[in-house]
């Protein structure tokens, strides 16, 4: 029996409120056309990621992703750009109830990797897609088990410069992929954008948006 291909996305594009090249690559992988909607010079984007004492990891990523979406929607209005759905995302690493954000320097990156060595941690990625009237969001959680790492392995990895700007001090799509003994969940979610959940949110938002133009045209 011949299967019918899924219907194309019904709006020409979405806005991506993230400078992450990994998220851009993942959106292209599933055929979603997007335009970047990045923070302007006067915006303190890092402040949106500030942690709160006692905040659970899932609550943290949900709060941050919705704050990023709100800031992006305000940016869209301020710049008087054409209306389209906006996608924001945030990823954090949690070891037990402790959040491991982006390392500030080599010493902090090495410390994080030492803590992850030989243990299983969670990677939580929140994705929110919204327009002027509707917002949908999801928090995807994966479990990642690291092999036991030697001090030399950690030092070599940190010296390569890869840990910076990555939650937990590593990127699974890079050299740190060799540290991973097992994952349970979404590989793309660990990279920063769970494709299954993101595809569903984007298609819903674009269908609601009501444009008749196929994606990518």
**Residue 64 class from Cβ within 10 Å (0-12 exposed, 13-18 middle, 19+ buried)?**
buried
Strands (E), 96-134: 98-100, 120-130
CB burial of 148-187 (b: ≥16 within 10 Å; e: otherwise) equals ebeeebbeebbeeebbeebbbbbbbbeebeebeeebebbe
* CA nearest to 17, candidates 76, 105, 92: 76
Which residue out of 44, 90, 105, 136 is catalytically annotated?
90
Cα–Cα distance for residue pair 216/193, rounded to 1 Å: 20
Is-catalytic flag, 90?
Answer: yes
| Residue 18 DSSP code | -
Number of other residues whose CB lies within 10 A of the CB of residue 205: 23
Cα–Cα distance for residue pair 206/3, rounded to 1 Å: 23
Catalytic residue numbers read 90
């Amino acid at each position: 029996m011949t299967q019918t291909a899924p219907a194309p996305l019904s709006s020409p594009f979405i806005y991506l409120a993230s400078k992450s090249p990994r998220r851009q690559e993942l959106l292209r992988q599933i055929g979603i056309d997007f335009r970047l909607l990045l923070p302007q010079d006067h915006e303190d984007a890092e402040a949106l990621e500030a942690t709160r004492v006692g905040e659970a990891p899932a609550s943290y990523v949900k709060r941050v992703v919705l704050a990023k979406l709100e800031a992006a929607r305000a940016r869209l209005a301020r710049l008087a750009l054409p209306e389209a759905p906006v996608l924001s995302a945030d990823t954090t690493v949690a070891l037990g109830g402790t959040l491991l954000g982006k390392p500030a320097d080599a010493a902090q990156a090495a410390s994080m990797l030492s803590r992850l060595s030989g243990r299983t941690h969670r990677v939580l990625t929140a994705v929110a897609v919204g327009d002027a009237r509707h917002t949908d969001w999801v928090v995807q959680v994966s479990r990642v088990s690291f092999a036991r790492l030697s001090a030399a392995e950690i030092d070599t990895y940190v010296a390569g410069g890869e840990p910076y700007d990555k939650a937990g001090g590593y990127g699974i799509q890079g050299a740190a992929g060799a540290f991973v003994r097992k994952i349970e969940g979404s590989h793309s979610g660990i990279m920063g954008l769970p494709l299954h959940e993101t595809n569903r949110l984007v298609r819903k938002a674009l269908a609601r948006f009501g444009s008749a133009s196929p994606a990518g045209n």
